[in-house]
Chains A and B, each alone.
Chain A
């Protein structure tokens, strides 16, 4: 859990507390993200991953804490953060093609009716090709499959050349082959554009080959560092509040609860039992 120098970190989340309906969702969350690094945000359903993304984007009310980008608080204009939400619903009749959605990532926040410059159209094509979405660039977004929409949304969030890209469970609903494909694609694009990635997932295993650091959320608390620093029985047991074991088998990591605590089990906060 090494803390990074604030001056070198791209993003710093400091002591963020979020509660809703009198219930604490995130408590004293702090971690930082470095330039160009791939960080996995790992936690089970309801752990607070989406909430944390919304805090970083400045669209979630939070009781205390701050988020710094380059050491400065976020404002409307300085945010160079791309975002791919967990789910976006597009009406199939929506008169918006994949390429229109990508272009909105570049100028959708601008007022006034200026013609889109040639360079923007080229950038859209380039971005769609980079995420292998060229084949359905002219189809309506609402008519695309979940996996296809995912690629278009990634292109949308990258076209403004952000320094940080937040992806909320982009691997859910993908078949295992597509999971590998998207991870490889993100890794490739991240290195080429030098963009730092914070990607949330339930399962850390598919991310192990590309992940530089991990932010592990459970019980409203967070542990961060390299995988070796965080994915250890001592750290995760402290996070979950009861003993867990960490098994490494065939290059996979399994987090296993040895025994459920006495009394009512905390519902959505138990570690995953992996049986394979």
Chain B
């Protein structure tokens, strides 16, 4: 499983894991998990549309993920956030289904889009994936403190002069990019799991924000590496292992935190 044709899988998996772990930390911190569930569906519709018109799926993924992220951003200013997100989620799934039914696409490709594929990123796409990944991480770094501040105490951040709208939009763009890169590897239905599982576990285990980001990236890497290996060895979709490991890490962290709390103070 370390053969040359698998090198792609390991490299793209590693990039995606680091990105999802870092972005996911803020998704969980901001309570935006619902958006992280909706945007992959938009990306899915984009990829389906790209197959339909015969362009690179990455273009469809990125553009539709951005569209749905900005759609969520705009509508959430008018209505309650979860309603807006739920509406765009359903609309995007429907759109993706429509695209797939009119295009003559092979069933394995649909499966890969939904549940992930270890060879989901072709070698010609490795460079764009790397560039988009680096850009996303750079934006996250630039916005790090205002992001944490607006997530933890939005009212205090605004009182301190933070432009919450700018931070919101930048964040949604990064979530969209991270999603577009993650969907081909983990699948549209399970990208959510990679973005939520490791950071949710990390924040329970670690009390410091900086270290919790690092913990989240670490757990995410373990998740993806184990999943690629297991998927190759057992010939099951990679998304299955990602979803299962995310749940296992989260439950494990909860149990560990419980023991820590109930242990008598020394």
At the interface, is chain B mostly helix, strand, loop or mixed? helix
Q: A108-B149, A108-B157 are in contact. List 13 more A-B contacts (CB 8 A).
A: A85-B159, A93-B203, A95-B29, A96-B207, A104-B148, A104-B149, A105-B160, A108-B146, A108-B156, A110-B146, A111-B145, A111-B146, A138-B207
Count how many chain A residues have C-beta atoms less than 8 Å from C-beta atoms of the other chain. 34
Residues of B close to A104: CB separation below 8 A: 145, 148-149, 152-153, 156
**Alpha-carbon distance A81/B202, docked complex (angstroms):** 35
Known contacts A88-B153, A108-B157, A97 near B207 by CB under 8 Å: yes
**Alpha-carbon distance A139/B265, docked complex (angstroms):** 14
> Contact residues of B with A, CB < 8 Å?
29, 141-146, 148-149, 152-153, 155-163, 202-204, 206-209, 211-212
Q: Are A108 and B158 in contact (CB under 8 A)?
A: no
Of the candidates B142, B152, B158, B162, the one whose C-beta lies within 8 Å of that of A96 is B152
Q: In A236-259, which residues have CB < 8 Å from any B CB?
A: none
CB-defined A-B contacts under 8 Å, sample of 29: A57-B158, A81-B159, A83-B155, A83-B156, A85-B159, A88-B153, A90-B153, A93-B203, A94-B29, A95-B207, A96-B152, A101-B153, A104-B148, A104-B149, A104-B152, A104-B153, A108-B146, A108-B148, A108-B149, A108-B156, A108-B162, A109-B157, A109-B160, A110-B146, A111-B143, A113-B141, A113-B142, A140-B207, A153-B156
Q: Are B212 and A95 in contact (CB under 8 A)?
A: yes
- Whether, in the assembled complex, A22 has its beta carbon less than 8 Å from a beta carbon of chain B, the answer is no
Residues of A close to B148: CB separation below 8 A: 96, 104, 108
- Whether, in the assembled complex, A77 has its beta carbon less than 8 Å from a beta carbon of chain B, the answer is yes
Residue of A nearest to B163 (CB): A76
Known contacts A95-B203, A95-B209, A100-B209, A113 near B161 by CB under 8 Å: no
Q: Are A85 and B208 in contact (CB under 8 A)?
A: no
Residues of A close to B143: CB separation below 8 A: 111
Q: Are A59 and B159 in contact (CB under 8 A)?
A: yes
